[in-house]
Amino acid sequence: MSEYRRKTPVLGIPVGAKGDRIDPETEMKKALIIENQILAGTKGVSCMIFEEGEFSFFKKGTDEYDVRLSHESSILSVSGVINGFFFYVTEALFWRGLKNGEKYFLYLKGKDDLPYNKGSVREVYLSSYRKTENKNFMLMAVVDLRSESPTIDPYPDGKIYAEDLSLHLSDKINPHGVELVQDTLVVREFLKLTSEDEDTVPIVSNKEITLIDKRVSTNLSDDNNHELKTNNKSIVGAINEINEKLKKLTEK
């Protein structure tokens, strides 16, 4: 194989110098280095936002709206990763023809030439949330036109920011943010309640606060023994009371 006489300083990607002949094997090596780095860098997170501008409404006629995404203070409208490929859009993006009385989910979709054309995305909107295995779609915002005051949610669930990912990895105290919202929390091994305040942990249920002793633990690894162990017997009663309150709330 004929090696090019120049290489990048860190990864050693071959670069042709004056007088070098184009070598197919060297070109393939270069392409594989780049491809493998892209795959490694986006493993597990194929779509994310680096930077974005602001969303705004434009009413068209009596029952239609357009939504624009742009940045007034710079040339950048949005940048990030779609389906593992970097994209960078400077011009304003428009989702046009949104009908009054409907709710819309606004997406960006990578075009076929996105791998080698960083600006090649297009605007797509759907009337329902599209939870799809097609990672070529990235949710950008949710627009609700069903009331007299239309709203845009630019931070819908499922939209990922690269900055949030870095905070998640670096914050050992609250890796999921200060407040974690979950529909269901499953504890497979060990549940620990702790607080820096006194000896109690507040548990809020329907705006009612119950203080329970923080010195409580339960080992759930043994399927035959799920009994709470604590030096304060009232903890069992407190948790049972909370469970009953939650049960009543879900039955309403």
> Comparing 74 with 224, which gets the higher pLDDT?
74
Name the burial class of residue 177, with classes exposed (0-12), middle (13-18) and buried (19+) by CB atoms within 10 angstroms of its CB. exposed
At 242, is the pLDDT very low, low, confident or very high (cuts 50, 70, 90)?
A: low
In the prediction, which pLDDT does 160 show? Answer: 83
Greatest distance between any 2 Cα atoms in the chain: 84
Domain boundaries 48-164, corresponding CATH code = 2.80.20
In the prediction, which pLDDT does 214 show? Answer: 46
Is the pLDDT at 137 greater than 80? The verdict is yes
CA dihedral 174, 177, 178, 180 (to 10 degrees): -110
Share of the chain above pLDDT 90, in %: 21
The domain segmentation of the chain, as residue ranges, is 6-41, 48-164, 182-251
Residues in the chain, how many? Answer: 252
Report CA torsion sign: 230, 234, 239, 240: positive
Q: Cα separation of 38 and 82, whole Å? A: 12
In the prediction, which pLDDT does 48 show? Answer: 86
Whether the Cβ atoms of residue 107 and residue 137 lie closer than 8 Å to each other: yes
In the prediction, which pLDDT does 89 show? Answer: 93
Indicate whether this model's pTM tops 0.75. Answer: no
| CA neighbor of 150 nearest in space, from 54, 92, 61, 63 | 63
Is the pLDDT at 2 greater than 70? The verdict is no
In the prediction, which pLDDT does 91 show? Answer: 92
Q: Which tens digit of pLDDT belongs to each residue from 51-110? A: 899 999 888 888 899 999 998 776 789 998 888 888 999 999 999 999 999 999 999 999
Q: Which tens digit of pLDDT belongs to each residue from 10-65? A: 778 888 888 888 888 888 888 888 887 777 666 666 788 988 999 998 888 888 99
CA atoms within 13 A on the CB side of 139: 22
